[in-house]
A and B are shown apart, each in its own frame.
Chain A
Amino acid sequence: MFNRGAIINIRGLGHRTIDSVMRFGYASRFFALTLLNSGACFRRPHLIVRELYYTGVQSMIIILVSGLFVGMVLGFQGYQTLNTYGSESALGVLVALSLVRELGPVVSGLLFASRAGSAMTAEIGLMKTTEQLSAMEMMAVDPIARVVAPRFWAGVVSMPLLAAIFSAMGVYGGYLIGVVLIGVDDGSFWSQMQSAVDFREDIVNGVIKSVVFGVAVTWIALFEGYDSPPTAEGVSGATTRTVVTSSLAILGLDFVLTAFMFRGI
């Protein structure tokens, strides 16, 4: 009896492992197909513009507000800590570096995954459930070229822009709290920030991070939608998986990228 249970458990483990590897392979094939079929949507840029509206423009409010608040919190917390060492003039450096290097790409990536990624999955999953994708195939329209590729490129374009907006708003929020409210010296706030933040090392690396997160989030969201079981339950499960998987992917990728970019040398 005990043996039988153990065997079934082990069999289940193996089954799930093989299943997830297979799913990963399917996802990679889906990614390659998306890239290969992108030509059509570059020839019809209004498809991408329409998706930019839904992914980029509609995420802008949440990005603006949360960027401002994250920056303001950094202003308070940074001032508290730096004040202990009598170096509150370095507040600008702290706020700018933490936003540009880490918080900007990561937090806006997480917000993007839950705001735009989940919507993408639900939309494509529902298109599949209501057999719109099959109908397109019937009309000899490739659903990957017509539906998936424009969404993918819109996500890849809008993610770095959203991260930049987030960081800029955050720096402004830190300025509001640090300089306007607490009264850190205006000149040293900006000048120390400018001498510490490097364009290539910090800003470009932040942009690279956000592009990578954009690719990862949109890929996961589109694949989960495309692969979702065509039921109401299946679509809701796929939407949840999009948010969970892409959040974990963002944090994991962020660690790997940070290890490459800022090795502390």
Chain B
Amino acid sequence: MERSTIDLWVGLFMVAGLGALTILALKVGNMGSVGSNETYQLSAEFTNIGGLKPRAAVKSSGVVVGRVSGIIFDNEKFVARVSMNIDSRYKFPQDTSASILTAGLLGEQYVGFEGGAEDKPLTPGATLKLTQSAVVLEKLISQFMYSKADGSAGK
């Protein structure tokens, strides 16, 4: 076979391989979405984060506005400190509340933001004051059982 034909085929092979990698990165992976934009950091303290994991979504009104970048345990206050990278296109007022919610009944957990009425926006690096922890199903059931038991005893 001629040298130039081999070169052509090898070139095609390299283009196909690198093209496949690019497709995987852009179409299959999340290189194109949140993460490539400018972000700023916010943090929040929760008494219980449930099953929240790093890279979980941060949503406001159902729209993804950022991702959880890290979760550490604060050994002085005994709370979980969740830091989040928020897309800098979105600004939230200072009395925004953060809660840990679940997508569907058994879905993955995410942080939900609900904007307040304050005029001033949160500055980068700020900590959210109003937080609501994850709902622990066992606690909910045991509370329900207790109240049920109380109710039937009273009758």
Which residues of A are in contact with B by a Cβ distance under 8 Å? 46, 49-50, 52-53, 56-57, 60, 96, 100, 158, 160-162, 164-165, 167-169, 171, 190, 193-195, 197-199, 202-203, 207
Q: In the A-B complex, list the 7 residue pairs whose CB atoms are closest, starting with the nearest.
A: A161-B17, A168-B20, A164-B20, A199-B29, A164-B21, A165-B20, A57-B13
For the complex formed, measure the closest distance between the CB of B27 and the CB atoms of chain A, giving whole angstroms. Answer: 7
Q: Is the CB of A202 within 8 A of B29?
A: yes
Query: Which one, A46, A52, A53, A100, contacts B24 given CB within 8 A?
Result: A100
For the complex formed, measure the closest distance between the CB of B44 and the CB atoms of chain A, giving whole angstroms. Answer: 21
Max chain A Cβ within 10 angstroms of own Cβ: one of B9, B13, B21, B28? B28
Chain B residues with Cβ below 8 Å from A52 are 10, 13-14
Instruction: Check: B134 CB closer than 8 A to any chain A CB.
Output: no
Chain A residues with Cβ below 8 Å from B145 are none
Q: Is the CB of B10 within 8 A of A53?
A: yes
Which residues of B are in contact with A by a Cβ distance under 8 Å? 3, 6-7, 9-10, 12-14, 16-21, 23-25, 27-33, 55, 57, 64
- SS class, residues of chain A in contact with chain B: helix
Q: A165-B17, A194-B32 are in contact. List 20 more A-B contacts (CB 8 A).
A: A52-B13, A53-B10, A56-B13, A57-B10, A60-B16, A160-B21, A161-B14, A164-B20, A165-B20, A169-B20, A171-B24, A171-B28, A195-B64, A197-B28, A197-B29, A197-B30, A199-B25, A199-B30, A203-B21, A207-B21
